[in-house]
Amino acid sequence: MSEHQYDFDLFVIGTGPGGEGAAMQARKGGLSVGVAEKYRQIGGGCTHWGTIPSKALRYTITNTNNVLKNPMFRELGIHANPSMEQLRRGTATIISKQVSMRQSFYDRNDVPVHTGHAKFIDDHTITIDDGEQITSNRFVISTGTRPYRPADVNFDHPRIFDSDTILMLDRKPTSITIYGAGVIGTEYASMFRNIGMKVNLINTRSSLLDFLDDEIVDALSYHLRDQGVVIRHDEEYERIEGLDDGVILHLQSGKQIKSDVLLWGNGRTGNTNALGLENVNLDVNSRGQLEVNGHFQTAREHIYAVGDVIGYPSLASAAYTQGRAAAMHMLGEKDDNFRLHDIPTGIYTSPEISSVGKTERELTAAKIPYEVGQSQFKSLARAQIMGNTVGMLKLLFHRETLKVLGVHCFGANASEIIHIGQAVMDSEDLTLEYFFETTFNYPTMAEAYRVAALNGFNRLF
């Protein structure tokens, strides 16, 4: 507790995963906590515009495709072409359930939610919508990000979208151009191709998702192209021309690409521009993001920041853990950052991708003697039963100690499968031997670990 009297020990700005993690952990530790949310409902971009609605739509599309491709349904003459409205019909229900559940966390822990825009007035005071003033000993900024919108792109045009507005498509276009081939761009390219759209994926870099293992990147590129996605690397836009019947993307290379609609998916900006940070002497970087130390403190020690507003890795899962870590540091209960050096990626392309730990490129550069073990999903009985035989599990381990150094998965259920490898990799005692000395259920996708471990172990000499 501070020697001064404030309305709250901690005030959290933003109720996304990072804000929720900080608020609940601090409250459990005995601090008085209040939160502010400028949207009419809690949950942040994760619940309302990003993770939940996009993954719900992906799940619906995947299930619909599986049914329509099933030979039995084809034999019965069942054909369908669902509209965008039909495909996203269940999304509102899921969002409502998420909001209701998360609101109950704040209610039962006596954490008041102040609806409105929070802005700093001084080191320990904020206002809500320039009215109500609230004082607090400490703050957590968890305001997230928004799509970067260049001034020369007309986002008011009915055929030009960003990642926050694309889910509100009122009809299913024949073709789409996606500018930006990061995680968001590749996920939407895969999703829209699966409902029959012609997809142009424009990448400003020389390869897709270059933070991933090279072999996984190669597999993703191959399967996107195999599905019919046209990928163009090393391209920069010159201008975007919105027409009545489509959008023309003019590239600096001289190419012109016309499609029914365009999705701008190139970059995001921190929601910090209206927080009054100048009143607490805090600066942001060129992307509007705050710099923090290992405890998630900004340059002002009593003001913490977590989630997408601090940049990489910009994952909902990481934001929640960062929020908890910040609160634990305030409480003096934990001084490290909850294994935040080993956060698994979850990329919901089709097939999906997940990885944790080091890549081959990183291990080679560090001159660490490693070996590789692989399991191809096409050889797994469960994958054959499910009809999802595209994919692989790849284990990287130290040749001498057998310590697991990296786990990379491409294929069905990758984001679920990865956690077995994560647990073994983070263990002080377990090594590669765990996978072939442990009995896995059969048939399962998790059995890929036994196959990959034996494959790698047999390479040793």
Q: How confident is the model at residue 235 (pLDDT cuts 50, 70, 90)?
A: very high
* Mean pLDDT in residue range 226-238: 97
Q: What is the mean pLDDT of residues 318-323?
A: 94
What is the rounded distance in angstroms from the CA atom of residue 307 to the CA atom of residue 318?
7
Give the Cα separation of 323 and 314 in Å (integer): 13
Selection from 412, 423, 408, 404 nearest residue 445 by Cα:
412
C-alpha 23/C-alpha 16 separation (Å) is: 11
pLDDT, tens digit, 9 for 90 and up, residues 50-68: 889 999 888 888 888 777 7
Q: What is the pLDDT of residue 190?
A: 95
**Better pLDDT: 333 or 105:** 105
Tell whether residue 29 is among the known ligand binding residues.
Answer: no
pLDDT level of residue 167 (50, 70, 90 thresholds): confident
What is the C-alpha to C-alpha distance for residues 352 and 220, in angstroms, rounded to an integer?
9
The SS3 assignment for 454 reads: helix
Q: Is 180 annotated as a binding residue?
A: yes
Domains 8-53+88-145+269-331 and 351-457 belong to one CATH topology: no
Contact 126, 303 (CB under 8 A): no
Confidence at residue 152, expressed as pLDDT on a 0 to 100 scale:
96
> Under CATH, which number does the domain 160-266 receive?
3.50.50.60
Residue 303 is predicted with a pLDDT of 98
**316 closest CA partner among 326, 306, 325:** 306
- 162 near 72, Cβ under 8 Å? no
pLDDT of 67 reads 75
Is the confidence at residue 146, as pLDDT, over 80? yes
Listed in order, strand segments (DSSP E) in 163-221 are: 175-179, 198-202
Average model confidence (pLDDT) for the chain? 93
pTM: 0.91
Can you read off the two tokens belonging to residue 179?
A: 């500018």
Question: What is the Cα–Cα distance from 57 to 47, expressed in whole angstroms?
Answer: 13
Give me 154's structure tokens: 């007309």
Question: How confident is the model at residue 15, as a pLDDT?
Answer: 96
Quick: pLDDT tens for 339-365: 667 889 999 998 999 999 999 999 999
Structure tokens at 187: 């996920």
The candidate with the shortest Cα–Cα distance to 392, out of 347, 353, 348, is: 353
184 annotated as ligand-binding: yes
How confident is the model over 272-291, as a mean pLDDT? 96
Q: What does the domain layout of the chain look like in residue ranges?
A: 8-53+88-145+269-331, 160-266, 351-457
- Quick check: 15 and 44 in contact, CB under 8 A? yes
DSSP state of 378: G
Backbone torsions φ then ψ of 177, nearest 5 degrees: -110, 130
CATH number listed for the domain at residues 351-457:
3.30.390.30
Return the minimum-mean-pLDDT range out of 82-86, 211-215, 356-360. 82-86
Name the residue with tokens 């109950």.
104
CATH T-level topology, domain 8-53+88-145+269-331: FAD/NAD(P)-binding domain (3.50.50)
Residue 186, annotated as binding a ligand: yes
